[in-house]
Structure 1
């Protein structure tokens, strides 16, 4: 079976990014023993990533690079926001354990959309948050292989994620 829309895909891969000194830096390794599972076309991965693996079969390999534009876009300084520390209070207390530099915090924007922000800086009045994807502005190199491909179940398609091995248990 080949990778196509609405197929559950399991991949093993290595991800390297181009760092600030123009050298490749390995940032993630996903082995065959615990592959990454997702539904093709519903993964939230960059569309270009899914395009590059589309049509591959179990046992086939891939080796490609995505530009920032093909990946998570350019780094956007407007996605960095200074927020009043008061919005991080629960029962009148600032949640200091949550507000550690580097922590990822789920937040909701004014339209009710959920997004993740990374704590960049904390002071008495404000928290500097970065809402860029951690890989925004980075050239990414993927090298790996297809471990498994199967049709997604109706329930998986309805829920938008993989169930069972490598997926979500309800």
Structure 2
């Protein structure tokens, strides 16, 4: 079956990004046992990722690259926040490299990575960990099926067979 909007797609992928030495390294994978399953056209995926898959069908393999600006955006030097240590009163002071769950004034949740910890503040990088990276995806389309009415009303896939895993 061909991929179309409001269809549920299950696929494998290997995501490669450039390492500091210029070679590509495997960063993430979805396997046949644990595929990525999503509702196509619902805005959950990077738009260019869906665009590259839009001509494919069950059983097809793919191999494409997405530029940083079409992926997670360019690295933004401004997206580094200095959080006062008082924010962590009563809790543990985070360590460098740790991912912190944060929330903005509108209630949007996101993560920031701790860059440094000083005497009175914690410096957090709010860029996506893959900001500034060209993304190289390789994989195979395992299954394409029409979404169920429940999936359409919820706006997301309920697993490869259309049912929630409990």
TM-score, normalising length: structure 1: 0.86
**What's the CA shift string for 1:102-122, capped at 9, x where partnerless?**
222221112332222122222
Q: Provide, for residues 36-80 of structure 1, a one-character-per-residue CA deviation record: whole Å limited to 9, x for no partner.
A: 111112353211011000131110011101110111110001111
Aligned partners of 1:68 and 1:137 also within 8 Å: yes
- 1:100 aligned partner: 95
Matches within 5 A, 1:3-152: 3-42=3-42, 44-89=44-89, 93-96=90-93, 99-152=94-147
Gaps of 5+ in 2: none
Once the two structures are TM-superposed, the CA of residue 141 in structure 1 deviates from its matched residue by: 0.7
Q: Partners in 2 of 1:51 and 1:28 — Cα distance? A: 20
- Normalising by structure 2, report the TM-score: 0.88
SS of the equivalent of 1:44 reads coil
Give RMSD over aligned pairs: 2.0
Give yes or no for contact 1:68–1:74 (8 Å, CA) kept in 2: yes
- 1:18–1:25 CA contact under 8 A, matched in 2: yes
* Equivalent-residue separation in structure 2 for 1:12 and 1:65 (angstroms): 16
Alpha-carbon spacing, 1:155–1:28, altered in 2? closer, same or farther (3 Å): same
Once residues 83 and 22 of structure 1 are traced to their aligned partners in structure 2, the CA distance between those partners, rounded to angstroms, is 33
Q: 1:86 touches 1:94 (CA, 8 Å); kept in 2?
A: no
Instruction: Name which of structure 1's ranges 66-75 and 39-48 shifts more when overlaid on structure 2.
Output: 39-48
Structure 1 residues 165 and 52: CA distance shift in structure 2, 3 A: closer
